[in-house]
Amino acid sequence: MPPALTVVLPAHNESGMLDDAVREVATGLRERGRSFEIVVVENGSSDDTAAIANRLAGEWPEVRSLSLPEPDYGRALRAGLLAAVGDVVVNFDVDFTDLGFLDRAVPIVEPPDGPAVVVGSKRTAGSADTRNWQRRAITGVFSTLLRVGFGLSVSDTHGVKAMRREAMAPLARHCRFGQDLFDTELILRAERSGLRSAEIPVEVVEKRPARSSIRARIPRTVKGLVALRLALWRERLPGGKPAVL
């Protein structure tokens, strides 16, 4: 029997934390008596993350590891979703795993007539975001742009999520944006194709300060959002076809 649940863990230069993250998730899911797999998707690490992921895959029968050449969070998440065998796929960050979120979100996406994706929102009522004010401000601006510019119904896209694989994996094949935009594009495509999305609040407590540079991320994300907006409009034109990688 294939496992009912897949947890995807994108991992880049995580030699310090990957072991604990996998252990925490695997132990917690074993305690719950769930059939599950954990897919660690490493790409472009300059430390020994790939070797650690391979070792973990040897130690834990539930763990698989994938490695891709270029560092790209979005591509890693996409590869994990496409490789997953569980009916439900949950993604965590190595420094932010939340089994409480999983417990609440999985029953929401499991029924075939329910939402196909549930995001753990840092911005909805009941959430608590302990990140610094610059990160929170950027998340706020990004969320507003998505709502106003794209008509997105959920208040957050980037972070923990649970998805019904059979509905979401085919859409992931059409996604062309990587890095931080993959999950945003995926949820936009889900809503555009008539699937429902939902959100539940999360308490964001990262186990280390953010590593990605805001300075590098803002121009990249703004450029990406403009390109995504244009790409989605173009697909609506007569004869416009969704991008296929």
Q: Minimal distance in Å, beta carbon 100 to ligand GDP?
A: 18
Q: Is 203 in the site for Mg ion (CB under 5 A)?
A: no
| Nearer CB in complex with Mg ion: 48/95 | 95
Query: Applying CB under 5 A, does 206 fall inside the site for Mg ion?
Result: yes
Whose CA is closest to 77, among 28, 6, 161, 10? Answer: 10
> Measured between alpha carbons, how far is 139 from 189 in angstroms, rounded to an integer?
20
Which CB, 40 or 188, lies closer to ligand GDP? 40
Q: Which residues bind ligand GDP (CB under 6 A)?
A: 10-12, 14, 41-44, 71-73, 76, 93-95, 206, 210-212
Residues 92-111 that bind Mg ion (CB under 5 A): 95
The CA distance from 45 to 49, in Å, is 6
Rounded-to-integer distance, Cα 157 and Cα 164, Å: 16
Shortest distance in whole angstroms from residue 209 CB to Mg ion = 8
Closest distance of CB 53 from ligand GDP, Å: 10
Taking phi over 0 as left and psi of -120 to 50 as alpha, with beta for the rest, 152 belongs to beta
Burial 85-95 (b: 16+ CB within 10 A, else e): ebbbbbbbbbb
Q: Give the gyration radius of the chain's Cα atoms.
A: 17
Distance, in Å, from the CA atom of 221 to the CA atom of 181, rounded to the nearest integer, reads 7
CB 9 within 8 Å of CB 39:
yes
CB atoms within 10 A of CB 68: 15
Q: Which is nearer to ligand GDP, 71 or 114 (CB)?
A: 71
In the complex, the smallest distance separating the C-beta of residue 103 from Mg ion, rounded to whole angstroms, is 22
108/175 with CB nearer ligand GDP = 175
For residue 189, the minimal CB distance to Mg ion (Å) is 25
Which of ligand GDP, Mg ion, none does residue 142 bind to, with CB < 5 to 8 Å depending on kind?
none
In sequence order, what E strands does the chain have? 5-11, 36-43, 63-68, 88-91, 117-121, 128-129, 161-164, 197-201, 203-204
Of 214 and 226, the one with the shorter C-beta distance to ligand GDP is 214
String of contacts with Mg ion for each residue 154-193, x by CB under 5 A: ----------------------------------------
Distance of closest approach, residue 211 Cβ to Mg ion, in angstroms: 6
Q: Which does 12 bind (CB under 5 to 8 A by kind): Mg ion, ligand GDP, none?
A: ligand GDP
Tell me which residues touch Mg ion (CB under 5 A): 95, 206
